[in-house]
Structure 1
């Protein structure tokens, strides 16, 4: 497994675990009440920050456990990286358009913030998943 593939796995797992934790905290705070009345800002910020720190620590740990791992990227790594980034980027655009439309329709801030966060997570997850699949199955030839 290459260094870049390990990075994709880290991004995939950290993103999924962080968002699952955020959703669990949010739903536990709601206690059957309205989600829009649930305090979400601190939980969202802590989750995003925690995911960033966890990802950095996981990459440092990966480097410590395997210091001789090749960190040199070749053409295949760059091509897979571009493919994963393009696949994931679609969700950033979807989230931005959805948030813009929700703001125009004057939806509650809760929904706008959570749609943006969900689309960022989907971007990371789907992009990382595309990278992992490309490492395992090969880059599709168009």
Structure 2
């Protein structure tokens, strides 16, 4: 497994675990009040920061564990990365319509922020899935 594929798996793992933890936290605050009144900004920023930090730390750990493998990026890695990022771009472009419509409809900021967060999560996961499939099945 190339170092790029390992980083892709790490990205996919972080892209699933961190948002699930964030959603679990937010849902734990729902009973007893209006969902739009939940203080979500701090936890959302923490979630985003934790996701970035976890991705970096896990990539460093993966690189340290597999020191003997060369860390070269070849043409295949570049093409897989390009295709994956393009898929993520398309998903983000489509998914970003929802928060835009919510903003135009003057919805609560809670819903706008969460649909935008979901759009970013879906884009990251789509990118990772396309890359993993390309690594596993070829392109």
Q: TM-score range by the shorter chain?
A: over 0.9
Q: Paired residue for 1:26?
A: 26
Q: Paired residue for 1:43?
A: 43
Structure 1 alignment gaps of length 5 or more: none
Q: Paired residue for 1:73?
A: 73
Structure 1: distance between partners of 2:138 and 2:33: 47
Q: Paired residue for 1:55?
A: 55
- Runs of 4+ aligned residues of structure 1 deviating over 6 Å after TM superposition are none
Q: Secondary structure at the match of 1:107?
A: coil
1:1-142 equivalences under 5 Å are 1-31=1-31, 33-139=33-139
Structure 2 alignment gaps of length 5 or more: none
* Structure 1, 58-67 or 90-99: larger mean CA deviation: 90-99
Shift of 1:91: 2.2
Give the TM-score, by structure 2 length: 0.95
Give the TM-score, by structure 1 length: 0.93
Shift of 1:126: 1.2
Deviations 1:65-84 (Å, cap 9, x if unpaired)?
11122221111111110111
